[in-house]
Amino acid sequence: MADDKFVYFFGNGAAEGDAAMRDKLGGKGANLAEMTNLGIPVPPGFTISTEVCKLFYDNNKTYPSTLKAEVAKNLEKLEKTLGKKLGDESDPLLVSVRSGAAQSMPGMMDTILNLGMNDKAVKGLASKTGNPRFAWDAYRRFIQMFGDVAMGVPSDEFENAIDEIKKAKGVKLDTELDAADLEKLVSNYKVIYQKHTGNSFPQDPVEQMWGAIDAVFGSWMNERAIKYRQLNNIRGLAGTAVNIQSMVFGNFGDDSGTGVCFSRDPSTGVNEFYGEYLMNAQGEDVVAGIRTPEKITKLEKENPKVYKQLVEIRSRLENHYRDMQDMEFTVQQGELFILQTRNGKRTGQAAVKCAVDMVGEKLITKEEAIMRVAPEQIDQLLHPMIDAKAKKAAKPLTKGLNASPGAACGQIVYTADEADQWTKQGKKVVLVRKETSPEDITGMVVSEGILTSTGGMTSHAAVVARGLGTPCVCGASEVVFIGDTVKINGQTFKRGDSITIDGTTGEVFAGTLPLISPEFSAELTTFLSWCDDVRASCVRGNVKGFKVRANADQPADAKNAFKFGAEGIGLCRTEHMFFDAKKLIHFRAMIASDTVEQ
């Protein structure tokens, strides 16, 4: 391939790339190409390489001179593959525009769906599908995403507009709105768009596409993406790729849906198919936590054919990549499509169990298993849990989904900014939200725990919390926001009140319950023994192996150190032994004494 090639096509069972090209195609683009080559049902499309992102920033946000022609050539190839044209009045091609860096950064960069919708295409789509509700729903979603992502229109204004229509109709769910309601909503969205941008909503699909490409490359340097890279020590990447892919629709009707699934449980590591889905919805609905989804096992009853396909693809992809997979899928009128696969984010508990189990299953070696678990994930396993006696005496306020394990106590805050400010004052906080979004990352990082009233185990809050090792409870539907307070199962809490959450069970308690240190699992003991074997066999010069000693200032510290395998105490600061109030008074008396006897 020529060095000046910037765009790579995938579709019809063949791709111009593979999984080894993740530095150039990004993780998402490389895996889309790999799955296409494997014969997995992937909607066709093309990827603009990460090199373009680097050139974009190196050259004052301008593109290589050949890029537009290369994109146009691949768009034409996509149109011929599908027999549709972008913006066509009778049978329009719609595409998604998604980011994808070489290392996964879930939710930190931007996505736009249903690109190509305009006033003519919406009527053509309604006529072609015989489903005007679906067509107008796709159009209103596109205006909202394009307005928010590409033009900076506040997403809350779009949400308020749909809430007003639902309230006027006396319904609670978006799916209860009919075609006429959604057509009216499109008109309202256009007014909001023009108010904030000074321009009418663009009708030219090519103009839309380049606006979306600009937005995705621009999102590489947004505040939340920069913060995420800093927190996760992600360095040396060229930038993000842009994936332009033909749309498949989970919001086509009751025989369509969308979901996120994992080849193993990302919270515990248990080798069970795990995930969630929503019928008559698009993928962002699941991730954003707008509605609380169904467990993937329910799909076996609703659509056994699709469920069987998913189970087969789950096994195939995990065996191929030799790691737990996080997959996004869409079902359009009973037909399954895989939109993404990547190595799944997981808790420390899940990382250890997956690594140990995969050695037993002969998928990976012990050496690979050790490298799969980061030191920070071992640290997660030292998270406290609620004291059993105190928990038994307390009555849970409510129970949500156990999205990220561990227990946490703190004062209630409602925004990421509050969480950041309060923790700087030395306070411990629990971030309580309807749902979280990527903009909340700063507050999520500093919070002791996270509680949301909507969203599932694959929502943004759950995925990010697991990655951070922060206890999280999602989808606690009895958490209701009323003005500046939150009501949990009838009990009212205000900002600053204390609560305790148990991310292992999903329970929420009033007040501050005592926390204790966790117990070691059998898998962790096995894993640490493998690490010890490697430590003992290391050779440095003439010295074989190295020893680990701990800092310990109290008997309890020494006891824990030996429990964790330390072979001695390296530093013991006697001054810390006397900080206890009962001991300090005796130490002061000794200093103030006049004689040795005293």
Tens of pLDDT along 47-75?
A: 999 999 999 999 999 999 999 999 999 99
* pLDDT at 581 > cutoff 90: no
Domain 248-346: CATH superfamily, name plus number: ATP-grasp fold, B domain (3.30.470.20)
Q: 290 falls in which pLDDT band (50, 70, 90)? A: low
pTM, to two decimals = 0.76
**How far apart are the C-alpha atoms of 115 and 246, rounded to whole Å?**
9
Please give the single-letter amino acid code of residue 378.
Answer: I
More confident of the two residues 460 and 540: 460
Q: Are 139 and 116 in contact (CB under 8 A)?
A: no
Q: 431 falls in which pLDDT band (50, 70, 90)? A: very high
The rounded percent of the chain whose pLDDT value lies above 70 is 97
Residue 89 is encoded by which pair of tokens?
């009045």
Q: What's the pLDDT tens digit per position in 180-227?
A: 999 999 999 999 999 999 999 999 999 999 999 999 999 999 888 888
Q: What's the pLDDT tens digit per position in 254-273?
A: 899 999 999 999 988 999 99
Please give the single-letter amino acid code of residue 151.
Answer: M
Residues 118-125: what's their mean pLDDT? 95
Q: What are the domain boundaries of the chain?
A: 248-346, 385-513, 522-592
**How far apart are the C-alpha atoms of 231 and 443, rounded to whole Å?**
13
Least trusted range by pLDDT, from 181-185, 368-372, 432-436: 432-436
Confirm whether 248-346 and 385-513 share one CATH topology.
Answer: no
Predicted local confidence at residue 2, as pLDDT: 46
DSSP class of residue 24? H
The second-level CATH assignment, the architecture, of 385-513 is 3-Layer(bba) Sandwich (3.50)
Q: 232 falls in which pLDDT band (50, 70, 90)? A: confident
DSSP for 216-266, written as a single string: HHHHTTSHHHHHHHHHTT--S---EEEEEEE---TTSSTT-EEEEEESS-T
